[in-house]
Chains A and B, each alone.
Chain A
Amino acid sequence: MGHQPSQHIIEYKTLGLVFIALLAMTGVTIAASTIDLGKLNVWVALLIASVKGSLVLLYFMHMKYESRVLWLSFLTTVFFLAIMISFTFWDIAFR
């Protein structure tokens, strides 16, 4: 029943650039871990990981060209994951 959406082709060049960016950020995150920022370190590491993850998601997994349904549902999943972790801290942080 569904119509085939026009398939978007991601060029090798784009993929290559994304790959280089990912490698660069791996270097950055290793470098960042050598600087002692106290409690900030883990947040910096997570931030860089999130950016890397977003690149994989958007280009390698083609999320950039997907429908709104997939965007929404993916964000819902991430939201639920965030709830799982953060709401547990209502207990852990105040015990």
Chain B
Amino acid sequence: MKASVDETGKKMGMWLFLYTEIILFGGLFVLYAVYFSRFTADFIQGGKQLSLFFGAFNTVILLLSSFTVAASITAVQKGQKKAAVMNLLVSILCGVVFLINKYVEWGEKIHHGIYPNSDTLTGMSSGQNIFFGLYYVITGLHGLHIIIGLILLLVALFAVSSGRVTASRFMLLENSGLYWHLVDLIWIFIFPLFYLVI
């Protein structure tokens, strides 16, 4: 039935899926755009309460993980299996560190009583309530995508180390990588919109 495996088609399917992810986050960015224009001052106030250190650090490690995923594909193409595995391991490690950071960050905010429907938050101005509401929804959804991305990277890792992914057939790795890059891409926009609003 399958005369030849159409790798390009598989990649295309993955891209189409990524488009749906872009639009999924897009819906939230519509909300962000509207509320930012309405509550600019409150958003700036809210942004100052987020930790720039955590945001910047997470940006750097996500960029690093993206780089290592891309490098692992180059390694596979060159037939350097060991380098590919190492690069993927770094990416997965970075993803885990990202999640731990997020956990600490959220935990600290929740400790200060800032979480949806909390007395502290509803006591603040409407704009700040919306800012933190969006913060939790958007970074939460993003975190969920990090988890899915990690699972995909793990699958790819096993496929590389078991030799199912080779220089001539690496679409599984490529597609997992594409997903991971997209998660990174979305974070590139989340970072300035929340941590750097002024």
Given a CB threshold of 8 Å, the question of whether A touches B is answered with yes
Residues of A within 8 A of B (CB): 1-2, 4-5, 7, 9-12, 15-16, 18-19, 22-23, 26, 29-30, 33-34, 36, 41-42, 45-46, 48-49, 52-53, 56-57, 59-62, 67, 69-70, 73-74, 77-78, 80-81, 84-85, 88-89, 92-93
Residues of A contacting B60 in the complex (Cβ-Cβ under 8 angstroms): 23, 26
Taking a contact as CB atoms under 8 Å apart, the answer to whether B34 and A92 are in contact is yes
Q: Give, as a whole number of angstroms, the nearest-CB distance from A48 to chain B.
A: 7
A56 with B192: CB separation less than 8 A: no
| Interface hits, B1-51 → A, CB 8 Å | 3-4, 6-9, 12, 15-16, 19, 22-23, 26-27, 29-30, 33-34, 36-38
B176 at the interface (CB under 8 A from A): no
Closest chain A residue to B196 by CB distance? A33
| Size of interface on B: residues with Cβ below 8 Å to A | 51
Partner of A45, one of B19, B59, B192: B192
Q: A49-B188, A85-B26 are in contact. List 11 more A-B contacts (CB 8 A).
A: A1-B3, A2-B9, A12-B71, A26-B63, A33-B196, A42-B36, A48-B192, A49-B191, A60-B70, A77-B23, A80-B26
Which B residues lie within 8 Å of A9 (CB)?
Answer: 74, 77-78
Chain A residues with Cβ below 8 Å from B23 are 77, 80-81, 84
Residues on A with beta carbons closer than 8 Å to the beta carbon of B129? none
The stretch from B107-115, B141-149, B177-185 touching chain A is B177-185
> Inside 8 A of A81's CB, which chain B residues have their CB?
22-23, 26, 29
Q: A9-B77, A77-B19, A85-B30 in contact; A92/B38 too (CB < 8 A)?
A: yes
Evaluate contact between B64 and A56: CB separation under 8 angstroms. no
Q: Name the CB-closest residue of B to A27.
A: B56
